[in-house]
């Protein structure tokens, strides 16, 4: 059959030339052509350009982003800045739009109580109406990407249509090009598709105008995302968190895991080995700082696919090759690796920061801030206020940097390994001031799943006006879990049980405080918790059994602190941090149980573990007659 048949509307619109048609025909896949034809006809761009893996094509994208003003050059070679739309401090396009991000649900399908959903037919009718003509007078770019290393059993393919060259350029830093991978599909429709438009633009630099019509709709049935009237990467790059939702749906109907995980290579001193760990942490709970620990290596900082491997381990890959990182508080002293990468010549995109004389500034960078410059509100001066009288900071709190991981000095050599890396352990990190110890090892894999399902992140008075409210987020993934929680947990349980060497599981908490409200942990103490976990994976250290899991022995931590931080770790430090706080732990179990009671079909192992932990804690309280039990009281 003539493949041009599937491009009939595009050809009739006279928006694509023969060279670009040939690029599409070379894929020999009518499913791809049907999608392109449908959405080009709907969105009505003035031109369609197909980007392959060639360097000339990729250079075209970056040059067009600069030519159109979507990015502006900065003083350092390779550095550019992008600004997203801003109306006021409460109405802008500089963070994920949770309100208008919805999963399309057909009648009779599971409807999560934790995420926004909309009837599929209603949602499609709404967004397709908004997208009608949304690319008018714009160039539509057709992109092909590989989520994961090339030539890998882990990886999924992603087709993206967008009219934003900033989005395209960001994707070239964050993802592996996949045109040649698509050619290997041999006519299959096994790929995700993402259609994005920034919509009508206004101003210089050009930003999205109609934020009131911003929509981000996820269609699980078709493995597709439709997103319009936005530019911010978290809303526009379908391959990022939007694809995570599609991958979670796919993986939980197969035999693997798609997780909100970093992948860290741990290199203990004096040991000729590297051990790989995944880690899931809600926002502001230490995910990035753990992934970027000094003298360790990074495979990925955000999303991982895990599959059982023929060596009996779970292997993991980073679906990305870059970092879209929050730049707030990145400074020379605390983040030397990132600081070096983003202050020296290399391809880097900054977003929503302050610029003066080609120099970027952001919140918490440790430098003297200019009193004027250009930022997301266009011309900025110190003490500038928005239309509601709220002060506009020189940089947005969610300002970002985008860079390839290979540009970091701590990039792991296995970043692109098609077989992934064997996972020795998984960290689940939460934030609480008075309950969990800094690190705790699970009794077994199923208890580890329970620990992941029990992650809580404590809010502060600075964010909601009331301190100490704990929000649960299973596996730090609640915003993205589009399958029933019971099914999600059951699949985790089954995944580990299929492995000869399931990862050890550890819960971490870097935010314990004393009665005066001061943190009990230093900023880099987490390095010692991670190194202890790595040693446990290899049998280097013993542990103390408590009712809630295994904790380190004081003597081992004392040596780790001396050898790695040149720091004295006292018995007083240890006792304050690793005491078992019985009533606080029981209260946590009750909160978690109440949350899961809102879900149907939560697997029985979850309730059994919760009951067992509750019984052990009550027995300990009865035996000791006190509420807080020192780690030195355990044998």
Q: How far apart are CA 582 and CA 588, in angstroms?
A: 10
Q: Are 481 and 457 in contact (CB under 8 A)?
A: no
Tell me whether strands 86-88 and 47-50 are parallel, antiparallel or unpaired.
unpaired
Q: How many Å apart are CA 284 and CA 288, to the nearest integer?
A: 9
**Region for residue 376 given its phi and psi (left: phi exceeds 0; alpha: psi -120 to 50; beta: otherwise):** alpha
- What stretches of 178-280 adopt beta strand conformation (E)? 192-197, 201-202, 207-208, 215-219, 224-228, 257-259, 262-266, 275-280
- Token reading at 459: 């809010």
Cβ-based neighbours of 175, under 8 Å, separated by 6 or more = 145, 146, 147, 158, 239, 319, 320, 321, 322
> Could you list the active site residues?
285
Which residues are registered as beta bridge partners of 505? 426
Euclidean distance between CA atoms 217 and 16, whole angstroms = 27
- The SS3 of residue 118 is strand
What SS3 state is found at 22? helix
**Backbone dihedral angles phi then psi of residue 422, each to the nearest 5 degrees:** -70, 135
Q: Tokens 């967004």 — which residue?
A: 127
Q: What separation in angstroms does the CA of 126 have from each of 123, 162, 221, 226, 568?
A: 5, 19, 17, 11, 62
Residue 214 Rama label (left phi>0; alpha psi -120 to 50; beta): beta
CA triple 299-304-307, angle to 5 deg: 110
């Amino acid at each position: 059959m003539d493949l041009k048949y599937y491009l009939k509307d595009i050809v009739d619109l006279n928006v694509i030339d023969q060279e670009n048609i040939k690029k599409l025909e070379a894929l020999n896949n009518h499913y791809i052509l049907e999608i392109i034809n449908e959405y080009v006809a709907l969105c009505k761009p003035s031109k369609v350009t197909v980007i392959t893996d060639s360097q000339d094509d990729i250079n075209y994208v970056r040059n067009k982003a600069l030519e159109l003003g979507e990015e502006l050059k900065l003083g350092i070679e390779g550095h550019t800045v992008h600004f997203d739309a801003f109306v006021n401090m409460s109405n802008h396009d500089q963070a994920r739009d949770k309100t208008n991000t919805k999963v399309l649900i057909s009648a009779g399908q599971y409807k999560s109580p934790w995420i926004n959903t909309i009837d599929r037919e209603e949602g499609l009718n709404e967004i397709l109406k908004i997208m009608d003509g949304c690319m008018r007078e714009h160039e539509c770019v057709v992109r092909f990407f590989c989520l994961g290393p090339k030539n890998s059993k882990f990886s999924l393919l992603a087709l993206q249509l967008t009219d934003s060259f900033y989005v395209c350029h960001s994707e070239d830093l964050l993802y592996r090009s996949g045109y040649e991978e698509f050619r290997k599909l041999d006519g299959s429709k096994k790929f995700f598709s993402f259609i994005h438009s920034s919509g009508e633009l206004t101003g210089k630099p050009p930003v999205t105008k109609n934020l009131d019509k911003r929509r981000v709709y996820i269609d699980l049935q078709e493995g597709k995302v439709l997103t319009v009237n936005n530019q911010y990467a978290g809303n526009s790059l379908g391959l990022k968190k939007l694809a995570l939702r599609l991958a979670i749906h796919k993986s939980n109907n197969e035999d693997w895991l798609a997780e909100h995980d970093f992948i860290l290579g741990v290199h203990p001193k004096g040991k000729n080995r590297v051990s790989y760990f995944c880690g899931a942490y809600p926002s502001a709970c230490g995910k990035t700082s753990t992934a970027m620990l000094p003298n360790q290596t990074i495979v990925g900082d955000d999303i991982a696919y895990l599959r059982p491997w023929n060596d009996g381990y779970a292997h993991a890959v980073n679906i990305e090759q870059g970092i879209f990182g929050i730049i707030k508080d990145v400074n020379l002293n605390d983040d030397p690796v990132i600081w070096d990468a983003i202050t020296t010549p290399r391809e880097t995109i900054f977003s929503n920061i302050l610029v003066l004389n080609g120099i970027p500034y952001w919140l918490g960078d440790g430098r003297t801030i200019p009193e004027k410059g250009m930022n997301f509100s266009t011309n900025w001066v110190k003490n500038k206020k928005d239309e509601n009288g709220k002060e506009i900071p020189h940089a947005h709190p969610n300002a970002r940097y985008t860079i390839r991981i290979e540009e970091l000095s701590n990039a792991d050599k296995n970043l692109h390994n098609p077989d992934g890396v064997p996972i020795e352990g998984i960290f689940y990190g939460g934030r609480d001031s008075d309950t969990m110890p800094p690190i705790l090892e699970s009794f077994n894999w199923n208890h580890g799943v329970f620990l992941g399902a029990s992650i809580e992140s404590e809010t502060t008075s600075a964010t909601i006006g009331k301190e100490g409210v704990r929000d649960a987020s299973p596996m730090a993934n609640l915003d993205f879990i589009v399958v029933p929680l019971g099914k999600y947990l059951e699949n985790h349980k089954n995944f580990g049980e299929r492995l000869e060497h399931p990862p050890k599981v550890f819960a971490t908490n870097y935010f314990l405080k004393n009665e005066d409200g001061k943190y009990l942990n230093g900023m880099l103490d987490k390095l010692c918790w991670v190194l202890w976990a790595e040693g446990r994976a290899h049998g280097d250290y013993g542990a103390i059994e408590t009712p809630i899991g295994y904790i380190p022995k004081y003597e081992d931590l004392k040596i780790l602190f001396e050898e790695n931080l040149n720091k004295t770790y006292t018995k007083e430090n240890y006792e304050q941090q690793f005491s078992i706080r019985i009533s606080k732990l029981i209260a946590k179990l009750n909160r978690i149980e109440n949350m899961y009671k809102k879900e149907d079909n939560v697997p029985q192992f979850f309730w059994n573990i919760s009951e067992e932990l509750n019984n052990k804690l009550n027995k300990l309280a009865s035996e000791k007659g006190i509420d807080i039990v020192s780690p030195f009281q355990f044998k």
